[in-house]
C-alpha cells in the first residue's frame, strides 16, 4: 500500500495539502502536473518529485492518478478531457477530489475510477493536520474502494463511504457552512469599520459560535433577536444599518429566515 | 476592589456566566434578583448568596447593581423602569450588560452609571472561560470607568473602552458574525438531512472556517464558487436545491452578495 506510486494533477489548495499529507504518510508522489510552471516547481521541490506542465509528459507507470483540478476541467471541451480521450489510462486508478463532480466522469478513459473528497477549507499558506478531516470516498469496484479506504485511513480517522448524490449535496451544505458564514464575518467587519472598531473584537465570538455546534445541533444553539422575534431590537438594528441598503436588506432577509425556520419547527415539534 | 458588593438583576445566560466569573474572582455577589423563583434560586444556591423575586426586596447596601435583563425592561413601561422611578438609587453604580442599550438609561435614577458588555455567546449549559472575552466598558465618570476597568481586568485580558454609539453597531456586527452564521449551520444541516448525512461531517469544516479568521481578515479567507464567479457550479447547486425554494433563494441572495462585495473591492483596490 505505501509503495503506491501516485501522480497528482493540480497544484492548488487541495492538491498541495493532499500531496503533502500522502508524502508524509509514506506514499510515493511520482510526479506533479500543473499548467503553471512555478506552482508545479514549488510543490515538486517540497516533495522531491518530478514535475511537468504538459499532459503529454505525464508518466505512464504510476498506480494512481489523482485529479485535483478546478471543476471546469471535467467538462468535455477542456484540455484534460481532450488529453484523456487521446490517451486512455486503462488499468490505472483515476481519482478526483471534487465535491460537485460525479464519479463516472472517468468511465470512458479507465475501468478503474473513484473519488477522494476531503471536506475542508484549505489555504496554501495555512498548515493543517489531516487527522480529523472527513474524506468522502467512492469507487466503481469494491477492490478500489478498499484501496481508497486504506489510503484515507493513513491520513485521517474520518473516512466515509459517500455516494455521488450525497457528495454533491454535501458540497452545497459546505458552501452554506463555510463560504456563506465567512461572508457574514466579512459583512460584520464592514459594519465595524463604520465606527473604526477592529475586527479583533469579534474573533472570540466567532470561535465560540463554531465551538458550540461541535457538540450541540445548530438549531439548538440559535440565539439573537430574530429567534426571540424581538421586534424592538430588530427595528433598532435596521436603523443602525441605514448607511447601507445592502446590509439592511441582508439583515431583514436572514432574520426572516431564522424566524420562519424556528416558528415552523416549533409548530411541528 | 474585591470587597465590592454587587447585586445581579437577572438569571439568564449573561447574568449566570458573569456572576459566576465575578464570584470566582473575589467579588461578593450579595443578591440575585429574578422574576422566576426557580432561576433565582438555582443561581443563588451556586453563589451562596441571597435571592429575591421582588424588586421591592432589593438590598440597598450594595455598591453596584448589574442589570443583566432582557433589553425590553429598559423601556419606560417596564416593571424595572417603574421600580427605579419609585426607588432611585443615588450614589450607587448602576450598570447594564446590553449591547443595544444606551449608557444614559439610568441617568434619571442615579448619578453613577455605566455599561459592562461582554461580547460573547453564552449558553447556561456550556461552561466558558472569561479570560479572553472582550468586555466593552463605558461610564459617566472617569472614576467609575476606572472601577469597571479594574473589575473587567480581573475577569479578562480584553477590556475595551467603547462608546454607546460603537457598542450598538458592534451588537449588530455580532448578529452577523454569530446569530446569522449559526443559522447557516442550521440550513447546512437541513440540506444534509435530504440525503441522510449526519451533521458531524461539517463540524471540522465549521471549526476551521472560524479558525482561519482568527489570524486572517475574513475578506482574504473567502473561498467557494461565488467569489470565483463559477457560474457552472452555482447553477449545479441551485438545481440540487430544487427541493426547497427558500434554500434556493437564500443561496442566490448570499452568492450575489459575495460576488458584488469582491467585485467592488477588486475594482477599488
Q: Give DSSP secondary structure letters for B25-68.
A: TT-EEEEEE-SSHHHHHHHHHHHT-EEES-GGG--S--SEEEE-
Ordered DSSP codes for A135-190: EEEEESSHHHHHHHHHHHHHH-S-EEE--HHHHHHHHHHHIIIIIIHHHHHHHHHH
Q: What's residue B1's pLDDT? A: 58
Task: Flag whether pLDDT at A86 surpasses 80.
Answer: yes
Nearest CA in chain A to B133: A204
A2 has pLDDT over 60: no
d(CA B229, CA B232): 9
Q: How far apart are CA B27 and CA B154, in angstroms?
A: 10
Contact residues, chain A, for B72 at CB < 8 Å: 230, 232
Residue B226 has pLDDT above 60, yes or no: yes
Whole-number Cα distances in Å, B243 to B144, B237, B238, B249: 57, 11, 10, 12
Q: Check whether A186 has a pLDDT greater than 80.
A: yes
Q: What is the mean pLDDT of residues B103-109?
A: 92
Mean pLDDT of B219-245: 94
Mean pLDDT value of segment B192-204: 98
Task: Give residue-wise pLDDT tens across range A93-149.
Answer: 999 999 999 999 999 999 999 999 999 998 777 788 888 999 999 999 999 999 999
B222 touches chain A (CB under 8 A): yes
Give the global pTM.
Answer: 0.93
Task: Verify whether the Cβ–Cβ distance B246 to A226 is below 8 Å.
Answer: no
Q: Which of B166, B195, B205 sits opposite A177 (nearest CB)?
A: B205
Residue A246 has pLDDT above 90, yes or no: yes
- Compute φ and ψ for A47, nearest 5 degrees: -95, 0
Identify from B72, B73, B170, B210 which residue to disrupt to test chain A contact, counting A C-beta atoms within 10 A and taking the largest count.
B210
How much is the average pLDDT of A218-226? 94
- What phi and psi, each to the nearest 5 degrees, are found at residue B161? -85, 110
**B86 pLDDT more than 70:** yes
Q: What is the DSSP string of B108-162?
A: TT-SEEEEEEE-S---TTS----TT--EEEEESSHHHHHHHHHHHHHH-S-EEE-
Length of chain A: 269
**What is the share, in percent, of chain B residues with pLDDT greater than 90?**
82
CB neighbour list of residue B260: distance below 8 Å, 6 or more residues apart? A246
User: Cβ distance B183 to A257 under 8 Å?
Assistant: yes
CA distance A246 to B75: 29
Average pLDDT in the A189-208 region? Answer: 98
A123 at B interface, C-beta within 8 A: yes
Subunit contact A218:B199, Cβ cutoff 8 A: yes
Task: Pull the grid cell for residue A112.
Answer: 478503474
Residue B234 clears pLDDT 80, i.e. is over it: yes
Is the predicted pLDDT of residue B128 greater than 60, yes or no? yes
Mark yes or no for CB contact A207/B205 under 8 Å: no
CB contact under 8 A, A206 and B181: yes
Supply the pLDDT for residue A1: 58
Above 90 in pLDDT, residue B80?
Answer: no
Name the DSSP letter for residue A101: S
Q: What is the pLDDT of residues B57-76, one digit of tens each?
A: 999 999 999 999 987 787 77
Q: Is A195 on the interface with B (CB under 8 A)?
A: yes
In chain A, the residue whose alpha carbon lies closest to the alpha carbon of B210 is A207
For residues A23 and A44, give the distance between their C-alpha atoms in angstroms, rounded to a whole number.
11
Distance from CA of A159 to the nearest CA of B (A): 10
A171 vs A80, higher pLDDT: A171
| A175 Cβ under 8 Å from any chain B Cβ | yes
The interface pTM score, or ipTM, of the predicted complex is 0.94
> Considering chain B, what is the average pLDDT of its residues?
93
**Mean pLDDT along residues A166-189:** 98
Please say if the pLDDT value at position A268 is more than 70. no
Give the count of beta carbons closer than 10 Å to the beta carbon of residue B119.
24
Least confidently predicted of A24-33, A194-203, B17-26, B81-90: B81-90
* Nearest-by-Cβ selection for B181 from A209, A214, A216: A209
CB B57 within 8 A of CB B31: no
Amino acid at each position: 500500500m505505501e509503495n503506491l506510486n501516485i501522480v497528482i494533477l493540480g497544484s492548488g489548495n487541495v492538491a498541495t495539502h493532499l500531496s503533502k499529507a500522502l508524502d508524509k504518510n509514506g506514499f510515493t508522489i511520482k510526479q506533479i502536473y500543473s499548467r503553471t510552471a512555478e506552482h508545479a516547481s514549488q510543490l515538486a521541490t517540497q516533495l522531491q518529485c518530478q514535475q511537468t506542465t504538459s499532459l503529454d509528459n505525464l508518466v505512464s507507470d504510476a498506480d494512481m492518478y489523482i485529479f485535483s483540478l478546478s471543476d471546469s476541467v471535467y467538462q468535455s471541451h477542456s484540455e484534460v478531457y481532450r488529453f484523456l480521450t487521446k490517451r486512455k489510462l486503462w488499468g490505472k486508478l483515476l481519482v478526483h477530489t471534487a465535491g460537485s463532480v460525479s464519479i463516472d466522469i472517468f468511465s470512458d478513459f479507465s475501468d478503474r475510477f473513484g473519488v477522494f473528497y476531503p471536506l475542508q477549507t484549505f489555504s496554501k499558506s495555512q498548515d493543517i493536520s489531516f487527522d480529523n478531516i472527513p474524506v468522502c470516498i467512492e469507487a466503481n469496484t469494491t477492490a478500489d474502494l478498499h484501496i481508497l479506504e486504506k489510503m484515507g485511513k493513513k491520513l485521517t480517522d474520518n473516512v466515509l463511504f459517500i455516494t455521488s448524490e450525497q457528495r454533491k449535496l454535501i458540497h452545497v451544505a459546505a458552501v452554506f457552512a463555510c463560504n456563506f458564514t465567512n461572508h457574514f464575518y466579512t459583512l460584520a467587519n464592514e459594519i465595524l469599520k463604520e465606527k473604526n472598531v477592529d475586527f479583533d473584537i469579534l474573533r472570540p465570538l466567532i470561535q465560540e459560535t463554531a465551538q458550540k455546534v461541535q457538540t450541540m445541533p445548530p438549531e439548538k444553539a440559535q440565539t439573537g433577536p430574530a429567534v426571540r422575534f424581538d421586534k424592538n431590537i430588530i427595528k433598532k438594528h435596521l436603523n443602525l444599518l441605514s448607511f447601507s441598503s445592502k446590509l439592511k436588506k441582508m439583515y431583514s432577509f436572514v432574520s426572516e429566515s431564522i424566524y420562519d425556520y424556528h416558528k415552523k419547527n416549533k409548530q411541528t415539534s
